[in-house]
């Protein structure tokens, strides 16, 4: 039988000096109280209670064990309460893992803003090392994982945080020097800059969607920051996140290529563990991230 259950029953008997009173307090039968005490005596190997027809008293070993058991149960209650309070307090540590490409861009900016606004919440933020298993981040001790691929998994809870717009872009200098393609097929005549996650460019929407496979890339880099720098330097055409490049697109330093075939947005998901009560600090973090991306999206829309 569960050791903590029988310990609780024994402590209640010790305090009330009555099996029947202990049964009433615990809302169980008197026979079950007797069985709990007998089971505990078998576990510890000594008699703990003297029972007569009229009274119940503790043996010397029983008094010693009652003090021990009460102390243990009190410590468990204190720790349970402490954990419950920390769960509901907007403070403590949040561990987050994220794909490198988005972590070095907008998620990193959003987390910087969160840290400034919530000084009592600490952040452990790791880039890269993402697993194909959607729940692997939990086994590795993370509270939240960000993904940009569609997820369907009952083992985790998924929140859609934002849409990440992309743009096919080149620099103004490249457009002046090489001209710009007028059709998707003409991309084959241009220098294309490639992220290994995007070997095929999906351009357009609905029935007008075209999938263009880059046959020979002028440069390949696994960082959109690097690719954007290559674009700015006039090295070629690339598919890049729109929001980090927004100001340069507005100024005309970068120009949109094939605007009639806009690449579709990509969803940003925040994933956390299933079940139970979400710790307050995690809830605050997810709400903040959602609001931050929404404000950026609204700013971009009003500036168009």
**Residue 179, domain CATH:** 3.40.190.290
Residue 261 lies in a domain: no
Look at residue 3 in the predicted model and tell me its pLDDT.
84
pLDDT tens-digit profile, the chain (304 residues): 688 888 899 899 888 888 888 888 888 998 898 899 899 889 889 999 988 767 788 999 989 998 998 898 888 887 777 666 555 557 789 999 998 888 877 888 999 999 999 999 999 999 887 776 767 888 888 999 998 877 666 567 889 999 889 999 999 999 999 999 999 999 999 999 999 988 999 999 888 899 999 988 999 998 898 999 999 999 999 999 998 898 999 999 999 999 999 999 988 999 998 766 778 899 999 999 999 998 877 665 555 5
Domain end call among 70, 87, 104 = 87
Domain count along the chain: 3
Residue 53 lies in a domain: yes
Considering only CA atoms, which of 231, 113, 217, 114 is closest in space to residue 172?
A: 231
Can you tell me which residue has the tokens 């008997």? 13
Residue 100 shares a structural domain with residue 150 = yes
Residue 102 shares a structural domain with residue 230 = no
For residue 154, give its domain range: 92-163+266-303
Residue 110 lies in a domain: yes
Domain end call among 69, 87, 105 = 87
Residue 64 shares a structural domain with residue 143 = no
Give pTM, 2 decimals: 0.63
Residue 239 lies in a domain: yes
Residue 243 shares a structural domain with residue 215 = yes
C-alpha span between 65 and 52 (Å, rounded)? 20
Residue 159 shares a structural domain with residue 287 = yes
Residue 126 lies in a domain: yes
By three-state DSSP, how is residue 28 classified?
coil
Look at residue 217 in the predicted model and tell me its pLDDT.
94
C-alpha span between 172 and 174 (Å, rounded)? 5
By three-state DSSP, how is residue 300 classified?
helix
Q: Note the helical H segments in the chain.
A: 3-16, 19-26, 30-44, 60-88, 100-103, 106-117, 136-139, 172-178, 224-232, 246-251, 280-303
Residue 159 shares a structural domain with residue 270 = yes
Residue 151 lies in a domain: yes
């Amino acid at each position: 039988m569960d050791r903590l259950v029988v310990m609780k029953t024994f402590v209640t008997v010790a305090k009330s000096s009555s099996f029947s009173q202990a049964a009433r307090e615990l809302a169980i039968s008197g026979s079950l109280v007797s069985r709990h005490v007998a089971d505990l005596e078998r576990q510890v190997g000594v008699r703990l209670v003297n029972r007569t027809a009229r009274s119940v008293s503790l043996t010397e070993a029983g008094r010693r064990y009652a003090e021990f058991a009460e102390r243990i149960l009190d410590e468990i209650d204190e720790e349970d309460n402490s954990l419950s309070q920390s769960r509901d307090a907007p403070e403590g540590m949040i561990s987050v893992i994220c794909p490198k490409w988005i972590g070095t861009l907008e998620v990193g900016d959003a987390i910087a803003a969160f840290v400034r606004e919530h000084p009592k919440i600490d952040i452990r933020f790791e880039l890269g090392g993402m697993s194909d298993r959607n729940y692997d981040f939990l086994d590795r001790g993370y509270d939240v994982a960000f993904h940009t691929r569609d997820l369907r998994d009952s083992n985790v809870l998924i929140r859609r945080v934002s849409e990440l717009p992309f743009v096919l872009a080149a620099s103004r200098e490249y457009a002046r020097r090489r001209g710009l393609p007028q059709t998707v097929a003409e991309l084959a005549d241009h220098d294309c800059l490639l992220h290994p996650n995007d070997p095929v460019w999906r351009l357009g929407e609905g029935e007008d969607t075209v999938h263009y496979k880059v046959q020979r890339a002028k440069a390949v880099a696994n960082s959109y920051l690097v690719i954007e720098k290559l674009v700015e330097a006039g090295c070629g055409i690339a598919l890049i996140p729109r929001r980090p490049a927004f100001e340069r697109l507005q100024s005309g330093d970068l120009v949109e290529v094939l605007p009639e075939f806009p690449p579709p947005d990509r969803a940003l998901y925040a994933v956390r563990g299933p079940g139970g009560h979400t710790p307050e600090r995690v809830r605050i973090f997810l709400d903040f991230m959602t609001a931050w991306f929404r404000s950026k999206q609204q700013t971009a829309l009003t500036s168009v």
